[in-house]
Every structure is written in C-alpha cells, then in structure tokens.
Chains A and B, each alone.
Chain A
C-alpha cells in the first residue's frame, strides 16, 4: 500500500504553478485575439472593459477562496498558489484601469478626474485598485521578512475591504439588472462569512477552555494556614 504525501514535491508545485499561470493568462489572450480579429462585438472597448473588470473580481474571489479550500480539503500546498492568484487579480485590475484611461477616455485627464470625483462607481473602483497596489508591491518574501509576519498579514487582510469595494463598484455601475453583481456579492459574503464563522468558533473554543494546568508529577500537598 502506498501513502499519498500531503505535500507534492518541489517539482510538482513548479508544474502546477506553470499550468495555473498559463490558465490565468487565457482571458487576456482571448481578448487580445478577439481585438485582432475584430471579434469583440460592436463595441469592443466596452467588451474589454467589462471582461477585464469581471476577471479582476473573479481573481479576487478565487484568491479569497484559497484559505477556505485549504481548510476544508486539508491540501495545505494550495496556499503556495495564492500569491500568483492575487497578483493576477491586480494585473487584471491594472488592465481594466488602463483600458479605461487609454482606450475609453484616451487620456482626457480633466474628464477622468471628473469621473473619479463625481461618479461614485468610478470613485469606488479607483479606490479599490489604489488600495490593491501596496498588497501587490509587498507580495514577496523580502517584504514578509522586513514587515514581519504579523504586520504583513494585517496589511494583506485589507483585501477583504478591497473585494467589497470591487463588488460595490460593479453593483453601482449596473443600470437596472443587478443579478450578476448580486452573484458576486453572495460569493463574497460566503467567503468572508466562513472566515468570520471560523474566527468566532476559535474565540469560543479558547474561552471555554480552562486555563492551562501546568504539568506536574507527584502528590498535591495542601498548605493550610495553621492558626485557627
């Protein structure tokens, strides 16, 4: 009988990462080819804007799904894919912003500034991308070492808020049919809710536990005051 190791070897992780990297590039590749073949419909700029925005949200949710998946499945090596997924969320977010600045507005800075200040959905989306930047910049071993694990983790927990901003951005953009943003909102609520639940469970477990008893051997000798 053979036993499966919990952790795939170094080489396996390398392969998995390479395949995942290629998969993550597919949406971008499809858009690039579609642009070249004029196959993105009557309003290709709108198609690219929408697709890059949706993939930013998709990757944010996929990244947030890593921890719950790891907990539920016990596949701890999944954690080693999280950084790449998070960076892809940032990359698609940058592509989304670039599409807006370049293809859509053609660097009309006054119009862009007006949009960011006056249109709540753009304000929120822009804020989300700005807030993602420090997370992307500190997604490396050097930053973890220099910030210290605890501070690094605190910083990266802001991804919860960023994901909420992202879903709000989508919700406010939609004219009337909020079905799709609602799906994202449900998925995000589920992912964040699981974390809140686990955290609460952990808190309760710690509370209900008796204070730790020091290990000792031998008999207990009571010291009773002698004066009655």
Chain B
C-alpha cells in the first residue's frame, strides 16, 4: 500500500538506491530465522494490526500510541539513507518516517532521562523459539542520539508500507550506527536514567558495544570495518566515519574515546 504524500528531506543521499528486491529479501531479523532469506519467508505470519507502541519511563506524559495514530502523527518524509551492517555490507534505502524526536517530545521527557530503551515485539507463536538472542530484542540510545534529527521512526520504504521482514509496522533507523541498532517491530520506548542493556551486547560483550557507531578505524574481531560491500556491487568500497554522517553527528561524541566506547 502506498504511503503519502511524502516530503523530501535534505538529509537524503543522492546515491543510487539498492533495489527493492534486495532490500526486502536480504534481511537480518533473527526472530524469524538467522539466514538472510528467512525473514521474507517467515515474517508474513506476524500480524501488524492491532498494534500499539507504549512510550513510558521518565516522561511527564507517558502514553500508548495506536499504530494508525503514529502513521498520522507527523508529516511523513522520505529519507534516503545509507545502511551499514556490522557484517561488512551496506545498502541505500529510501525509508519513510518521521523524527523520533517529535514523538519523544510529545511525552515530555523528565530532566532525569538520559537514555532511551527500545523493546521489540516477541511472539513465540510466530517467531523462532530458539534462544539465539535474549528475546525480546532490546536496544538503546543516549537521549541526545535519540533526539537527533537523523534518527527516525520508520513506517515504510520505497513509498510503501514497511514489509514485515523489514520491521513492520514501525522500526527505528539510526543511519550512523551499525544496522543492528535500528530495531524492528517496536512495542515499547522507555526513557531511562541508566544505560539500557542491548541484545547483541548481552550476547557478545566484546564484539558489540553500546554505541556501535560506524567507524572504519575500530576493528571488529570478526570483520574488518575499514571497507564494505554495497549490495549489488562486486568491489568493496571504503567505509566512511559515522557512515558518512560525521558532519551531522560527530559533535555528539566530542572528547569521547571511540575506541573504548565502541
């Protein structure tokens, strides 16, 4: 189904978009299987209506939003972003969504709120029952990262409603971080004072840090992060600092040791 009308965004890249087929058939969504082809096979079982997103925690006005309300919550924008996976491949994807900041501001974060925790849907009836990760999948951002204008809640891609395998009905997209930070099928957004635990960090503490900013200088024990393969291309290309969004986000990490805070 078409979404629209969509506003263009100055944050969009003019790079060639990765084809719709690749974007919707090559996915990491471990709740539906660990093979890249599993999510498109299995995610059809997920019912995306009714669906609510609870925004809670250290907020003046915590609230539960119905998904159809979220779709009309703010003007939808098309954001064509680079997406860099920690496994060394990347895509250019035309997402449809709105800034997470507009939702967070609506619930009025308290001064004590320092972080945002994201909890995703987990239903053993339709998802994998094997404990590959500690379900439900959780992620987190620092509050200033969550409020950054590049950070969006996403409800579509290629101008259409988000396919299930891509995280329907609503997901996060944080383009300067490795893809696993951009959680899918969100049910709870919680403002917290302490840094929340994250799924991959719990699974392998030395491999996946809380920040997980795209950084070609900080090697991952499994993959070199210096280069990446853009899906659809043969030769690798150099990976850019903060996935090419350094101009917008580098100031968030001023004075921080990015090797220690990987």
Contacts and interface: CB of A to CB of B under 8 A. Distances in A.
A39 to B, nearest CB: 12
B89 interface: yes
B126 interface: no
Interface residues of A, number: 22
Contacts of A108: 227, 236
Nearest to A120: B221
B98 to A, nearest CB: 28
A105 B21 CA distance: 25
A115 B130 CA distance: 31
SS of B interface (majority): loop
Contacts of A42: 21-22, 25-26, 36, 231-232
Interface string A150-183: 0000000000000000000000010111010000
Interface string B202-230: 01100000000000000101111011010
Contact of B222 (A46, A111, A175, A179): A175
Q: Of A42, A119, A177, which is in contact with the most chain B CB atoms at under 10 Å from its CB?
A: A42
Interface residues of B, number: 28
Contacts of B2: none
B34 interface: yes
Interface of B: 21-22, 25-26, 30, 34, 36-37, 87, 89, 130, 132-133, 203-204, 219, 221-224, 226-227, 229, 231-232, 234-236
30 contacts: A41-B25, A41-B36, A41-B37, A42-B21, A42-B26, A42-B36, A42-B231, A43-B26, A43-B89, A43-B229, A43-B231, A45-B229, A103-B234, A104-B236, A105-B236, A106-B235, A108-B227, A111-B224, A115-B224, A118-B219, A119-B221, A119-B222, A119-B223, A121-B222, A173-B222, A175-B34, A176-B34, A176-B132, A176-B133, A176-B203
